[in-house]
A = this chain, B = another copy of it.
């Protein structure tokens, strides 16, 4: 085992898969040798694999994703980096209408092995156009898989699974996770899609949290423990497919559910998780479900404002207390 950052873990996955499989290549704005990615995930890769396979593009999000679709259906395994998740809005036809639907519309003739990596999330004061979390949109489009690793281990393992698969994967990273460190094995490994991970066992309440919010949830769990509240923290790791079984069995055990996710509350990730439980496991609940997410506002610039809208430990603890 080695300790590396989330950023490095992603890079290792890219590098190892490119090494192994000639059809894997990267494209995106400023991922090449001049800039090496806005968040430096592709650092050194252009030097290692050449400019052809680590391909800087014009600022043309729609055509970048579209080009990846065209490459994917003709034998390649493209990995796109969209510099900020907010900018996937520019490529939404190619993502939701083309990449996601091609396999289905054409009766299963072809796979669309394509990964779109993009960072979501707030916390760095870059305001409304660079801080959103739009995973819920992707969840809503059949054909897409949605991964959102919260640790370096998962970042590497899930990305490898994404690259080796045959489906378009929206690979949702988080700006604040890039520098965090974690242990990963020395040997090749993958993390399967659709298998949630219990990050902390508990029996009084389940906190289902995604991406960076896992760390806030764990922090909340530690603080609650001091008050004698035993919290189970569950990380879905992928939202599509979703590990419903584990979610439900945790709720069965604890009888209480707090769902935490960045992104706006209404019609967001927390809505779907709440709905699944309300539909399939309501009898296990001993209290209302609680959702902790952004209020329905764009992300503001000024630090006190941004802090106010982003979910945090305090709000999680408050939600737990309300149903305990």
Contact = CB atoms under 8 A, between A and B. Distances in A.
A227 interface: no
Contact of A97 (B97, B128, B137, B280): B128
Nearest to A94: B89
A33 interface: no
Contacts of A165: none
A105 interface: yes
Contacts of A269: 267
A136 interface: yes
Nearest to A96: B89
A296 B129 contact: no
Interface string A127-157: 1110000101101111100000000000000
Contacts of A189: none
A201 interface: no
Interface stretch (A36-44, A176-184, A204-212, A286-294): A286-294
Contact of A105 (B105, B128, B282): B128
Nearest to A103: B298
A313 interface: no
Interface string A281-305: 0110101111100011110100000
Contacts of A134: 140
Contact of A263 (B92, B140, B298): B140
Interface in A67-100: 86-87, 89-90, 92-93, 95-97, 100
Contact of A137 (B93, B137, B280, B298): B137
Contacts of A298: 100-101, 104-105, 142-143
10 contacts: A86-B97, A137-B267, A142-B266, A142-B297, A267-B268, A274-B278, A274-B279, A275-B278, A279-B288, A282-B288
Interface of A: 62, 86-87, 89-90, 92-93, 95-97, 100-101, 104-105, 127-129, 134, 136-137, 139-143, 240, 263-264, 266-272, 274-275, 277-280, 282-283, 285, 287-291, 295-298, 300
